[in-house]
Amino acid sequence: MSTTAHDIAILELPFKAPYDWPRILRFFAGRATPGVEAVEDGAYRRAIDWAGDSGTLTVRPHPRKRCIVATIEGPAGRHADALAAPIARMFDLHADPQAIAMHFAADPWLAQLIEAAPGLRVPGAWSAFELVVRAIVGQQVSVKAATTIVGRLVQRAGKRIEDHPHEHTAWRFPTPAALAAVDLAQIGMPGKRVAALQGMAAAVASGAVPLDTHAEVDPVALRAALLALPGIGPWTVEYVAMRAWRDADAWPATDLVLMQSVTARDPALLRATQQRARTDAWRPWRAYAAMHLWNDVTDRAGGTRGG
């Protein structure tokens, strides 16, 4: 359902209960790009551009119905019907938590985790390009450090939005062309990672790696295209597949937190190759298994570790 008035469009987008809004918001809050995204007052907010029109997207849960409420302020609101699908993907509204729980019911590790967080979703991304940037920046650094560096990238290569009504979301994320061309000296990343980041941005700008086309993606071809770029390995590709391409079976096998989580439960499973038989049992929902393992670590740490 959508309503429009005075340059404000409101979408009510349904989900299958349960839906764990506090945890998806916690995930976004820990990774929000400074200046571009913000989590405030129980809502997610960011500046958006769609079909040449700009606006601000704010998403919060409906107080009574089983749906989220997406408010689009500004000219982008005229595209509300087209925006319903990407917003639904970003907030994983099409997931069937009962089907996922049934699949994991016989697994002693996952059944326990699902009981603790039955409505957990796989948080998506507004932009696949932004997520690939974040994944490259986040290689071998903490979530907090990656967020800081991505904020610096926005300051160097992004654009400030004049007269924007929301101060914390008053920047546009850098375009692929702008990020490929900007000087990233003293940005806080090793030279090889800077080269990987700018090489990826150039490939996206040229159309060689077609991210954010809003068309149906071929995950096999996109995986191959990303893996072919220098400095991008399987972890980055699987993380992007989970969150941007909505691959419910994506599994970042070499993720340190995931590997430690598996080893903590079975010390005989030390290496990713040893863990494979155990994690393959979670097909075709391995992305949800990853989220539950990450979430368990975050719950225990009371912070934003994992993912």
Catalytic residue among 183, 255, 296, 299: 255
The residues, any chain, with a CB within 8 Å of residue 153's CB and separated by 6 or more, are: 133, 137, 174, 179, 184, 187
Give 168's strand partners.
none
Q: Which of 289, 259, 286, 283 is nearest to 271 (CA)?
A: 259
- Token code pair at residue 85: 């699908």
* Whole-angstrom Cα Rg for the chain: 19
> 3-state DSSP call for residue 153?
helix
Q: Which of 148, 168, 172, 149 is nearest to 160 (CA)?
A: 172
The residues, any chain, with a CB within 8 Å of residue 120's CB and separated by 6 or more, are: 20, 23, 24, 97, 114, 288, 291, 292, 295
User: Residue 279 carries which DSSP code?
Assistant: H
Burial class (CB in 10 A: 0-12, 13-18, 19+), 195: middle
Q: How many residues does the chain have?
A: 307
- Token code pair at residue 20: 């764990």
Q: Which of 208, 197, 220 is nearest to 132 (CA)?
A: 197
Q: Is 218 tagged catalytic?
A: no
Q: Active-site residues: which are they?
A: 255
